[in-house]
Amino acid sequence: MFETREGEKLLETDPADMPADGHVVFIGHIVSPWTSREECPKNMRAARETGRTATILIDEAYRQGLQNLDRASHIVILSWLDHAPRNLIVQKPRHASESKGVFSLRSPARPNPVGLHVARLVMLDIEAGRIEIDAIDVLDGTPIIDIKPYYASIDAFPEAAVAGRDEK
């Protein structure tokens, strides 16, 4: 699914082959309109532009944790990008002229492929464990690690920038 490009570097040991140490559990999964990497939007902005919504299904054991989530207009979703390689430490994005360290990128290929998504909460059904959101930029079936309310007063930094990055 991911090909290695010129200028990229792999880790000596693939983190996927190492023993688990965080005991992370998946609390549910995403029902997404995207079934292949080629059709999946690159980011949440591109996903919103498609006008296609998504659903998060929370496993029964964790549904009580959804109580009061409907007070939030937007939520932060942490996903496990289970199709991404974990051993790519230096990458060369198609649009970039130079290679970059994985921690300076938003690429799904990383030692711990955790996805970070901010979405508008459209509907919440706690009993069914169903959360409708405005968009998502991951493949159908992607596991969910956590959900948190988004606080614009805490989470937004209007002055934030990345040098040399065109934010369009």
| pLDDT tens, residue by residue, 75-115 | 999 999 999 999 999 999 888 889 999 999 999 999 999 99
Residue 162: which of 113, 114, 96 has the closest Cα?
Answer: 96
| pLDDT tens, residue by residue, 123-145 | 999 999 999 999 999 999 999 99
C-alpha distances in Å from residue 130, one per residue of 35, 44, 79, 119: 20, 20, 16, 14
Predicted TM-score (pTM) of the model is 0.89
The encoded tokens of residue 153 equal: 């007063």
Rounded to the nearest integer, the mean pLDDT of the chain is: 93
Percent of the chain with pLDDT over 70: 97
Q: Which residues contact 21 (CB under 8 A, 6 or more apart)?
A: none
